[in-house]
Amino acid sequence: MIVTGNWADILNPAFTKIFDDVYSRFPEEYSTVYTLDTSEQNYEKYSTASGFAMGRDVDEGEEIPVDDPVQGFDSTFTHSKVGLAFNISRETMEDDLFNVMASKPKSLASAIRRKIETDAARNVINADNTTYATGPDGSAWAADAHTREDGGATTTQDNIQTAGLSEAALETAFVLFAGWLDGKGQKILVQPDLLVVQINKELEARVLLESAGRTATTYTNEINPYHGRLDLFVYHWLTGANDYFLIDRRWDFIKFIWRKHTSLERDDNVSNQVARWFASCRYSYGWTDWRNFFMGNV
């Protein structure tokens, strides 16, 4: 609890001003990677179904064959509660010469937002880790052999590679995207439009994406095939030194679901004249399908 003895500085008139929480914070970042949604219940459940197989040749007078969709994988998003509070005595509030305590509720909200950003980023950082989270198909979000809904071969269902960020690695990733199949083994159109990197890879990524000429050749006057092809997002909450990620943002498979947005409330204890400020929210996050996401340099 914050009492006057803990905060002697706020009672000292020699201080012209006490600066509280002066550092600028990064703007909201998780919403660049996640599709935001809302919920009105304890959990949300998603299920997918495949399309149909390819049309078939039919002879004159022959009955047109029937095909059935395949049941997809189920995903359940159970919301968690996050909160933080602080207590402050009436005396401290009365003697606060610089209104330092008036900013503390705002600081609480900032603390909750850092928790949200950390949770969302940790999900991306651990995309290849089944111990952290197993996806609806029984594999990690990024894996080298995703199970197909119809039980077909998984040799092309790979969204992970060990190569570091380079022109060659981007080429490999684009080829992998083009080879992915739906739940019935049919070709699908997925193509990344966003490259996600940590701050220490920003320079390298900008050279790869923004140079007019090729960066991985000894020849001159060659165009850069990735110039203007991918947007770049520097995700400051990532911790993997060399990991990078590619996402096709047209598909809303990566979800952050709000059950209750962050709220600030105050609860006063009259008997001992202590005010309690608290902030809380409820949310869940994850993915329903891996087919718009790729992880590199694992």
How far apart, in whole angstroms, are the C-alpha atoms of residue 78 and residue 290? 19
pLDDT digits (tens, 9 = 90+) for 40-52: 999 999 887 777 7
pLDDT confidence of 14, banded at 50, 70, 90? very low
Answer whether residue 188 shows pLDDT above 60: yes
Please give the torsion angle defined by the CA atoms of residues 165, 28, 247 and 128, in that order, rounded to the nearest 10 degrees: 70
Rounded to 5 degrees, φ, ψ at 227 are -65, 120
Instruction: Rank 17-31, 151-165, 174-188 by mean pLDDT and report only the highest.
Output: 174-188
pLDDT confidence of 118, banded at 50, 70, 90? very high
Q: Of 73-82, 157-166, 265-274, which gets the smallest average pLDDT?
A: 265-274
Q: Of 15-29, 65-79, 130-144, which gets the smallest average pLDDT?
A: 15-29
Segment 198-226 shows an average pLDDT of 86
- Going from the N-terminus, what domains does the chain have, and what CATH number goes with each? 27-52+70-296 (3.30.2400.10)
pLDDT of residue 33: 97
Average pLDDT over the chain reads 83
Q: Of 27-31, 174-178, 220-224, which gets the smallest average pLDDT?
A: 220-224
DSSP tag of 149: T
pLDDT of residue 142: 95
The answer to whether the beta carbons of residues 241 and 198 sit under 8 Å apart is yes
Q: Which of 77, 102, 79 is nearest to 92 (CA)?
A: 102
The DSSP code sequence of 177-246 is HHH-B-TTS-B------EEEE-GGGHHHHHHHHH-SB-SS-SSSS-B-TTTTTSEEEE-TT---SS-EEE
pLDDT of residue 246: 98
DSSP tag of 70: P
The answer to whether the beta carbons of residues 42 and 128 sit under 8 Å apart is no
How far apart, in whole angstroms, are the C-alpha atoms of residue 273 and residue 228? 61
Instruction: Rank 34-38, 141-145, 208-212, 241-245 by mean pLDDT and report only the highest.
Output: 34-38
Angle at alpha carbon of residue 144, lines to 139 and 147, rounded to 5°: 45
Q: List helix spans (H) across the chain.
A: 30-33, 90-94, 104-125, 167-179, 202-210
Instruction: Rank 8-17, 100-109, 213-222 by mean pLDDT and report only the highest.
Output: 213-222
Q: Which of 120, 130, 122, 97 is nearest to 12 (CA)?
A: 97
pLDDT digits (tens, 9 = 90+) for 279-298: 899 999 999 999 999 999 86
Q: Which of 171, 206, 294, 209 is nearest to 243 (CA)?
A: 294
Answer whether residue 156 shows pLDDT above 50: yes
Q: Which of 140, 139, 117 is nearest to 128 (CA)?
A: 140
